[in-house]
Amino acid sequence: MDLSLPNVRGMTELDREKFSKEVNVPSVEILSQNIGKSMHVFKKYLLKMEKLKPVVEVDGTVERKKMLLDPLLFETVEKLSEEQQTKLSELDVNNDNFSRTCLHLQYENFRIDDIFKAVLPEGKEGCTSYSRIGHIIHLNLRDHLLPYKNLIGQVLIDKLIGVRTVVNKSSAIDSTYRNFQMEVLAGETDFITEVKENLCTFKFDFSQVYWNSRLCTEHERIIKLLPQNCVLFDVFAGVGPFSVPAAKIRKCQVFANDLNPSSYHWLKENVRINKVAKVETFNLDGRQFIREQLSSFLLRKPTEPIHVTMNLPALAVEFLDAFIGLLAGIELDSLPDITVHVYSFCEESSAFSEMRTKVESSLNHSIEDGQIVELVDVRDVSPKKHMLRLSFRIPIEILAKSRPEVEEETSEPKRLKLDLESQD
């Protein structure tokens, strides 16, 4: 079925009236009482378009109804299987029941992909992906699509149920707190949203915190890795996608930290909303959090396994040196296993070896194969860049080392401009 609309190519301001086209599609008239029975034959051939019912009334009678069929799927009765033709004969359906029906399609009938294919430049990448965060659609438009940004935003609001705001992000993060400037392309300037994930509700101001819906699967993986009733130190907790479900689902004792005051605010709010116990929240630099809070906790001589999540891929590896000498000069009879889950961006061609080298370099200590829990390729960030996670049990020798004589530094406020694609 030809859905081309040559008169809208290059449109930059949405004109819904121009999305109008007449098409002829195959159809079949069937006794109303046999519609259900005939679905066994025609279900996979039905015409599927937005705001268009594939079974319609026949003018002047209630005894018969018309099924609209997709011309790309249905050709002729003769092309049906012998079993299907036998079924139609039993229902008294033959060639005389088939005809062509003229449909007048309007804007409401076209899918998002059909509209973008008709409007956007031929031969170039279209608007193929977006993230949804509650009522917000988050885009990262390429330069050649920027002239069409307002049209794209309005189409998404028109077509996606529950969407009230469409934003496009700038090309770089220039912030201590991983938030970024965004432009509202269509809809309301309302950034406070709610997201459901891993049996939890997360509420936050999307313009002030970092949230990536594409990490939902990774959040779930980590929660499943945590033993019941273990202890979690979440160094870069954000609004709590690790911390809150860890406390709610795995009944962990959680120490959750984020430097961003807005993330810290919503982290506390999400702890309250989800009614989770045993969660302490902090608004500290990541290195300070490890050296103060984890260190003091270890002095209590805990017996439960301890897990440490460090999800700040652009910089997290640099914070691993906070573990060096964490217990220097302190004698403890025994320590529970401390498993660190650290994230980083690596080049595709050498991702796994690069990740291990980065971690060992920051710790100034080798990690034995037996100390590695898993090395996971979390997702593709760009064609040549991957986000990886190395989960490993930290060697006791690292904690007991004499701390190197280096200037105390707080790396988070010194963040440089980060490639926004890396944070996506």
List the 306-310 sheet strands across, edge first: 279-282, 253-257, 231-234, 306-310, 338-347, 385-393, 372-382
Question: Residue 311, annotated ligand binder?
Answer: yes
CB 424 within 8 A of CB 387: no
Question: Residue 329, annotated ligand binder?
Answer: no
Cα–Cα distance measured from residue 132 to residue 178, given in angstroms and rounded to the nearest whole number = 18
CB 68 within 8 A of CB 103: yes
Torsion of CA 103, 106, 109, 111, to 10 degrees: 130
Task: Output the DSSP codes for 28-46.
Answer: EEEEGGGHHHHHHHHGGGB
Query: Which residues neighbour 358 within 8 Å (Cβ) at sequence distance 6 or greater?
Result: 317, 344, 346
Cα–Cα distance measured from residue 340 to residue 358, given in angstroms and rounded to the nearest whole number = 14
Question: Residue 286, annotated ligand binder?
Answer: yes
Torsion of CA 108, 114, 116, 122, to 10 degrees: -150
CB 187 within 8 A of CB 165: yes
- The alpha carbon of 49 is separated from its chain's Cα centroid by a whole number of angstroms, namely 27
Question: Residue 219, annotated ligand binder?
Answer: yes
Cα–Cα distance measured from residue 404 to residue 325, given in angstroms and rounded to the nearest whole number = 8
Query: CB atoms < 10 A from the CB of 30, how many?
Result: 23
Query: Which residues neighbour 255 within 8 Å (Cβ) at sequence distance 6 or greater?
Result: 231, 232, 233, 234, 280, 282, 289, 293, 294, 297
Quick one: tokens of 222?
A: 């980590």
Which class for 72: exposed (0-12), middle (13-18), buried (19 or more C-beta within 10 A)?
Answer: exposed
CB 27 within 8 A of CB 98: yes
Q: Name the binding residues.
A: 219, 258-259, 285-286, 311
Q: Name the binding residues for S-adenosyl-L-methionine.
A: 219, 258-259, 285-286, 311
